[in-house]
Amino acid sequence: MNNDILIQVKNLTKHFPITRGAIIQRQVGAVQAVDKVTFTIRKGETLGLVGESGCGKTTTGRTILQLYRPTAGEVFFRGIELAKLKGKQLRRARRNMQMVFQDPYASLNPRMNIGNIIAEPLEVHKIGDRQERRERVQELLRLVGLSPHFLTRYPHEFSGGQRQRVGIARALALQPEFIVLDEPISALDVSIQAQVVNLLAQLQQTFGLTYLFIAHDLSMVRHISDRTAVMYLGKIIELATRNELYGHPLHPYTQALLSAVPIPDPIRERKRQRIILEGDVPSPANPPRGCRFRPRCPSIQDLCKQKDPEWREVAADHWVACALYN
């Protein structure tokens, strides 16, 4: 594997079973939340993962960290296949991988004070004594822009932005290399979002962190990511560098998404043509045959109905899964 690659995902698949029966449960189907996803994340970069709600972004992030065990496929962290690790080996690997959750209100235990919340990963992994953990927590609070005197306060005493900073401090406690940011700003006020994004960028530069930044706000992803992957109904359909994707989108779905992003220039905004997609997103429990975007695609071909489009590199570091480019 390339030495620059920290995370390598190969044909990652996660299906959730659909069962019926009051006493004897039997599987009658599956929700295909993530289906044969392939990509890499390089050391020190931010990979943005965008798409509509319910397309599988969060499941992808959690499956990479093995919070959900994959149905099929492989996830490599520094060349080590995570799906094969169990017990102590998996726990040791997880020290290098953390997650910042979407909802800062739900992800912090309301019965624990801030000091105990941030120190919990240190206690789980038996790092330092009580005094050393306390000093580490104070240092982490300073790093994320909070007062070290907040140690004894509880989550309900903080604003949403402050709670998310606590979540970031907890993720940094074990000095990880890789952090999955699961829509970390979507539950925050617009005025606070930029502060949190700037904090994440500053921490990345200071500690050489690698991010998977999951979001549905395309303009924010453009601001923070080095490369961007677009997801639709459990599959990644396009991946490219930030400027390439936003400047030359190839997949019809990516083009439609970007056509809805507001432009600050009112003259260009008036002249721009919006792409309106017809129909609704199909159910992941019963995805369409062939290309999953086929029922809504304005550029459908006969081939689209027959088989999945091939995941191909059509230009330098620009990947797309679409029959238009096969």
Domain boundaries, the chain: 5-17+30-96+176-325, 110-175
Is the per-residue pLDDT at 326 higher than 80? no
Q: What pLDDT score was predicted for residue 272?
A: 72
**Per-residue confidence at 2, pLDDT binned at 50, 70, 90?**
low
| C-alpha separations of 8 from 2, 64, 82, 178 in Å | 10, 9, 10, 12
Q: State the average pLDDT over residues 163-180.
A: 95
Q: What is the pTM for the complete model shown?
A: 0.91
CATH dotted code for 5-17+30-96+176-325: 3.40.50.300
Question: For residue 8, is pLDDT > 70?
Answer: yes
Distance in angstroms (rounded) separating the CA atoms of residues 245 and 243 = 6
35 has pLDDT over 90? yes
pLDDT score for 269: 65
Instruction: Give the range among 113-117, 256-260, 275-279, 313-317 with minimum mean pLDDT.
Output: 275-279
Write out pLDDT tens, residues 147-163.
999 999 999 999 989 99
Question: For position 23, what pLDDT does the model report?
Answer: 82
- HSE (side-chain half, CA atoms, 13 Å) at 169: 30
**For 60-83, what is the mean pLDDT?**
95
Q: 286: which residues sit within 8 A by CB, 6+ positions away?
A: 29
Q: Is the pLDDT of residue 1 over 60?
A: no
**Side-by-side strand order, sheet with 178-182:** 97-100, 178-182, 210-215, 46-50, 227-232, 235-241, 318-321, 311-315
Confidence of residue 3 (pLDDT cuts 50, 70, 90): low
Please say whether the beta carbons of 253 and 293 come within 8 A.
Answer: yes
Percent of the chain with pLDDT over 90: 67
Query: β-strands 5-20, 72-77: how paired?
Result: antiparallel
- For the segment 39-63, the average pLDDT, to the nearest whole number, is 94
Q: What is the pLDDT of residue 53?
A: 87
- Mind listing the pLDDT tens digit for each residue in 211-263? 999 998 888 888 899 999 999 999 999 999 999 999 999 999 999 998 877 77
- For residues 171 and 117, is the Cβ–Cβ distance under 8 A? no
CB atoms inside a 10 Å sphere around CB 206: 9
Give pLDDT tens digits for 184-208: 988 788 888 889 999 999 999 999 9
Q: Which of 19-28, 114-123, 212-221, 288-297 comes out lowest in average pLDDT?
A: 19-28
How many other CB atoms sit within 10 Å of the CB of residue 248? 12
* pLDDT value of residue 265: 66
For the chain, the average pLDDT equals: 91
